[in-house]
Structure 1
Amino acid sequence: MRTDSLSFRIVVFFFSLLAVVLLATFVLVSVANLRISRETAAHELLTGERVFRRLLEQNGSQLTLGAQVLARDFGFRDAIATGETDTIVDALRNHGGRIGADLVMLSDLNDRIQADTVRPERTGQPYPFRRLLAKAGAQGGASGIERIDGRLYQLVAVPVRAPATIGWITMGFEINDGTAADLRSLAGLQVSFLGHGRSGWVMLASTLLPEQRAGLTEQLSPEQSASRLVLAGEDYQTRLFQLGDSPEGPIYALLARSLMEALAPFYQLQGTLIVLALIALAVCLLAGTRIARRITDPLRALSRVAERIQQGDYQQQIDRKNSSEIGRLAGSLAHMQAAIGERENRISKLAYEDPLTGLPNRVRFNQLLAEAIEAAARQGSALTVLLVNLDRFQQINDTLGHPMGDRVLAEVGSRLRSSVRQEDSVARLSGDDFALLLPGVRVADAPATLERIHRMFDRRFVLENRPLDLRAGMGAAGFPDHADNAIDLIRSADLAMYRAKRTGERHIIYDPGMQTFREEHLSLLGDLQQAVEHNQLTLYYQPKVNLATGRADEAEALVRWIHPDKGFIPPGEFVPFAEQTGYIREVTRWVLAHAIATAGAWALAGRPVKLSVNLATRDLLDRDLPSLVAELLEQASLSPDYLCLEITESGLMADPAKALAVLQQLRAMGLSIAIDDYGTGYSSLAYIRRLPVTELKIDRAFMIELVHNDSDRQIVRSTVELGHRLGLKVVAEGVEDHATVALLRAMGCDQVQGYVFAKPMPAEDFIRWREALDARNLSADALSPSP
């Protein structure tokens, strides 16, 4: 029987349950019997004390009777009257011997001993038991326990009358080990007589063994009547009570009951219970094993059926003849087998097929691709993977609803299937992502298939009489040219597809340089964070020359990065990356802090320069930006008039409401706001006039052929005129020749920024350049081309 089997657990359960019950019963019975045994021992001691006192009373009565007989004897009284000492002593001894008294004494009315059978020499000495005589005088007789010469006696005192009292007879039994043994035989208890004085306990008589007596007096306390003592390693239940008082101290009797003897029947019962428990456990083990097998054997058979079902065998015969719960379980298992077999087929189809398009899904495509790669590797052939992502599909869902979007996806899947060969595979990976597997096609030959797909998209989609213009970005990667496994091959095609969508191309074939570029960008974020935290960035300044005065009182602050290992990294590489990752906010805060600090230093030096700083889209959505700028201006003691923030039209379009709220706060502080790269976005002057902007910067794209292109001249001239009518300053950026400068001056443009005057330069170079410009005192004529 295996330890992890059900039968083993059943046997262990019932065996443990019975063991717990028996153990609990044993403990309860043992505790109860132990308590009863101890209570019985205590009761025996209490009863023994009563018997003990009764025996002492009987002895006292015997002594009293003997003393009274002697006191009534005429000859004895006559001898007392005549003072015949020898006759008195003989009478005392004779009567004491008749009753077995160990001490007989006669005292006169003056409390003087007249005769003593134990110590005759005490004749004439004071009577030692005056309290006993005082009690006898008051009661006509008395009895008690007294110590004489280190010995213990039970005494009685009676008067001798003739007819008046002429003396006292004292008669007693000595209490010794023999007396204690007699009392033990009657009471069935260990008996000890002890005296207690200033020096402690004194053992007078006892039935205890010498080694038990040694430790007795150390454990006794007069205040504690009942206690448990350990004598020579054996437990005793004891009872201590006072018998009398003597000049040397109180006299006590101690009754002791051996707990070992008292508990002997209990221990015998315990042994019997243990034997019965072992027999019951053995019977339970045998019966439990048999019952467990009768239960688990059919379950094992059903378990084997379930294992075969798990392995995919749904055609087994299951015995259902038994009508018990196990038989009903077998019937349920048979029904489950049939239902699982049916559902397995449906699940297999759902697991590998996209329910919307009927095409293979991502899981199935990965399987097909892995199988195709394995076959191509064996055959030494090639294959190509194409990834297709629809353009602006989200707009279709948002505008026409998801049901229409689902119909578009189904139509795209159908057209893709019809655009490739029979042996090719088309799959829908997720959302608007599709994949094509072209076995036997080298990636260099993939453009032919890509063009067929493009032509498929060129055919307008008409759904519910609604024409839709749909385009897609595509990427291609091939085996074995670009990767030798399914994961890397799909990743390569994915990189090519997103490069195509980012650059606006119809399709791109994967280039290994894309992966290197992607890996560099992954490490670029950490390097950029280090650059910001350790001030590895720097600011360059490009002057903005006023065409009317020829002065350069304004400049644009441009961030530059000199990487300690990679050298100069163009802004076009790390700024867009920072915008994508969201780290552009930290870069902007760094630029603002350093640009404002520099402008403040220049203003304090008496050569103020109005600096322009570019803001990204995320910056316009930062509600904390106005308070940050205000804090930086205050720290640098710089007037807001010397700071201009440049924004792009695309940044405004991301979230116009939030961007407008931030811009209004910045403008209310007195800052200038400029629209950068104007003319390349989607906004118009009619929209911009509602914004709190102060100037327009015409994009460099219109400056390249301004002198030779009439359309560009008309656009720039109209922009300058409309900008002025709206009260905006107009700046032309990217100007590279003096002919363009002259044309812009003629159009009334306010400022020019570009290589025609200076490239972006460090702060020190910008100051020297500006001083040289002021020294030449350039006029409007000086700005024309030199001969």
Structure 2
Amino acid sequence: MRNLTLGLGTAALLIGILIAGFVSRRATHQARQLAAQAMYDPLTGLANRSLLHDRLEHEIERSKRAHTSFGVVLMDLDRFKEVNDTLGHEVGDKLLREVGRRFKEAVRAEDTVARLGGDEYVVLVHDLDRKGIPAIANKLLAALDKPFHWQNQGIDLGASLGVSLYPSQCRDASELLRCADIAMYVAKRAGKGYAVYAPDQVHTNRHDLSLKSELRAAIQADQLCLYYQPQIDHHSQRVIGVEALVRWNHPQRGFLAPDQFIPLAEDAGLIGPLTHWVLRTALAQLMILQRQAHVLTMAVNLSARNLHDMELPASISPACREWRRPTRPHPRNHRERGHGQPQRRPRHPHRTRPHGGDALDR
């Protein structure tokens, strides 16, 4: 009986050890999973912001000891929002994963590719100085040259890159990212692929932030105005229509042309309210002209962002009904100065298709 008791006790001890080992291994596995989730982007598997900051701090310490330099390249995808809105988030997520894969292939194994969120990526580039910037920037841009494919449809994406350097330009991790972000917006506005941070860009960035805030107020306060460019029939030499051109009568800066504020409207998400204001104002003026027996058409410029907006017809219709106009603008123009123009127009047709198709400014 005693031997049986000892045998049962030994078995219970062994079972307890096995259970404890299983629980310990499971806890270790879960801890590793949680650590990975805390350090890596779940969509792309790339380093996230937290891991990037950690590696930046380590690289700063290494740079101090070895007296070397390194760089940060911050990238924002061009035209991704239009693709995401048109084709859906599932396609957008696949594109983000593929973009991350291409960026990893474009850099060395010791460099870190991270995704900050949305369509923003960062590369920490070891041993980078100013002379080496063109090579790495062009290599990253070239990674997006080949079109992405979805259901036999080619999708073209580009990117705007901003570069900052340690220690010649920035002194800590946060400043490196901030300066690269400022340079990236300079590149995006200029449409030139990449830009290297310079101190005078801070003033430009603050100027743009101020204008964005003022533009929001200007739309609400009717500080904008429309100029009407006549459209003349080639044969009869008669004015048959007008094109509405938006200008901003800024109280301090004077009249601003479209290329001075429309890119800011697109960056700030104000292109929808701006377009709505232009449409309402143009339709009101068209009604006045027609009451004076002027039979004219009215052309209104649209941003490239508008052309990818599935809700555009629904937003146009109420304004047209208010002014008792048919919901068929004739013709529909793209805006005067392109900014972030898509290389392909969206495949979905707008319900308010004008007679004779689009009118493109040359």
TM-score band by shorter chain is 0.5 to 0.7
Within the candidate set 60, 68, 74, 1:373 is matched to: 60
Distance 1:482 1:574 in 2: 29
Match for 1:612: what amino acid? M
Equivalent residue for 1:626, pick from 307, 312, 317: 317
Q: What SS is found at the alignment partner of 2:239? A: coil
Q: Structure 1 residue 569: deviation in Å?
A: 1.6
8 A contact 2:164–2:179 mirrored in 1: yes
Partner of 2:327: 666
Contact 1:500/1:508, CA 8 A, preserved across alignment: yes
Using a 3 Å threshold, how does the CA distance of structure 1 residues 459 and 620 change in structure 2: closer, same or farther? closer
Deviations 1:385-423 (A, max 9, x none): 123567769679856995x985x478546524xx4274x
Q: Distance in 2 between matches of 1:376 and 1:478?
A: 11
CA contact (8 A) 1:496 1:508 kept: yes
Q: Give the % identical residues.
A: 27
CA contact (8 A) 1:619 1:625 kept: no
Secondary structure of the equivalent of 1:693? coil
Distance change >3 Å, CA 559–CA 458, structure 1 → 2: closer
Q: Does 1:526 align with 2:208?
A: no
Residue 562 of structure 1 deviates from its aligned partner by 1.8
Change (3 A) 1:552 1:509: same
Q: Is the 8 A contact 2:72 2:165 kept in 1?
A: yes
Question: Hey, what's the Cα distance between the residues in 2 that align with 1:563 and 1:699?
Answer: 28
Question: What's the CA shift for 1:530?
Answer: 3.2
Per-residue Cα deviation, 1:670-724 (whole angstroms, up to 9, x for no partner): xx5213259x97579xx99x975234565343xxxxxxxxxxxxxxxxxxxxxxx
Q: Does 1:415 align with 2:72?
A: no
Distance in 1 between residues matched to 2:274 and 2:293, nearest whole Å: 27
CA contact (8 A) 2:299 2:332 kept: no
2:16: which partner in 1?
Answer: none
Give the distance between the partners of 1:627 and 1:454, measured in 2 at CA.
42
Aligned partners of 1:361 and 1:429 also within 8 Å: yes
Which residue is equivalent to 2:300?
Answer: 614
Aligned match of 1:538: 225
Task: Tell whether the 8 Å contact from 2:230 to 2:242 is kept in structure 1 after alignment.
Answer: yes
Alpha carbons of structure 1 residues 405 and 448: separation in structure 2 relative to 1, 3 Å: closer
CA distance in 2 between partners of 1:518 and 1:599 (Å): 38
The TM-score with structure 2 as length reference comes to 0.64
User: How many Å separate the matches in 2 of 1:355 and 1:445?
Assistant: 31
| Aligned mates of 1:383, 1:358 — CA distance in 2 | 24
Conserved? CA contact 1:591–1:613, under 8 Å: no
Q: 1:632 to 1:414 in 2, by over 3 A?
A: closer
For residues 513-592 of structure 1, what are the structure 2 equivalents within 5 Å? 514-579=201-266, 581-592=268-279
CA deviations 1:104-133 (Å, max 9, x no partner) are xxxxxxxxxxxxxxxxxxxxxxxxxxxxxx
Structure-2 change in CA distance of 1:434 and 1:539 (3 Å): closer
| Superposed CA RMSD | 5.0
Q: Deviations over 1:761-787 (max 9, x none)?
A: xxxxxxxxxxxxxxxxxxxxxxxxxxx
2: CA distance, partners of 1:354 / 1:586: 34
SS across alignment from 1:623: helix
Alignment of 1:143-182 (within 5 A): none
Q: Which residue in 2 is equivalent to 1:384?
A: 71
Distance in 2 (CA, whole Å) between partners of 1:458 and 1:628 is 41
Partner letter of residue 50 of structure 2?
V
Which digits, 9 at most, give the CA deviation of each residue in 1:534-584, with x for residues without a partner?
332222221222222223353223221121112222112323433554544
Matching residue's letter, 2:108: V
The one-letter amino acid paired with 2:232 is V
Query: Which runs of no fewer than 5 residues in structure 1 stay unpaired?
Result: 1-331, 634-639, 641-664, 702-787
Aligned residue identity for 2:222: N
Change (3 A) 1:628 1:428: closer
Which of 355, 358, 361 pairs up with 1:694? 355
Alignment of 1:427-506 (within 5 A): 427-430=114-117, 434-453=121-140, 473=159, 474-497=161-184, 505-506=192-193
Structure 2: unaligned runs, 5 residues or longer: 1-18, 336-340
* Alpha-carbon contact 1:386-1:435 (below 8 Å) kept: yes
**CA distance in 1: counterparts of 2:158 and 2:344, whole angstroms:** 22
Counterpart CA distance in 2 for 1:529 and 1:353 is 37
Asked if 1 retains the 8 angstrom alpha-carbon contact of 2:104 and 2:113, the reply is no
Deviations 1:36-95 (A, max 9, x none): xxxxxxxxxxxxxxxxxxxxxxxxxxxxxxxxxxxxxxxxxxxxxxxxxxxxxxxxxxxx
Distance (Å, rounded) in 2 between the aligned partners of 1:447 and 1:370: 25
Aligned residue number for residue 676 of structure 1: 333
* Structure 1 residue 595 displacement after superposition: 4.0
Cα distance change, pair 497–627 in 1 and its aligned pair in 2 (3 A): closer
- Structure number, greater radius of gyration: 1
For 2:311 and 2:22, the matched residues in 1 are separated by 65
Report 1 or 2 for greater relative contact order, CA contacts < 8 Å, sequence distance ≥ 6: 2
Matching residue's letter, 1:676: N
Aligned counterparts of 1:380 and 1:504: Cα–Cα separation in 2: 35
Give the 3 Å change call, closer, same or farther, for CA 438–340 of structure 1 in structure 2: same
Q: Is the 8 A contact 1:677 1:698 kept in 2?
A: yes
Q: Distance in 1 between matches of 2:284 and 2:244?
A: 12
Q: For residues 553 and 448 of structure 1, do their structure 2 counterparts lie closer, same or farther at Cα, with a shift above 3 Å needed?
A: closer
Q: Cα 1:587–1:700, aligned 2, differ >3 Å: closer, same or farther?
A: closer
Counting matched residue pairs gives: 321
Name the SS of the counterpart of 2:331 in structure 1.
strand
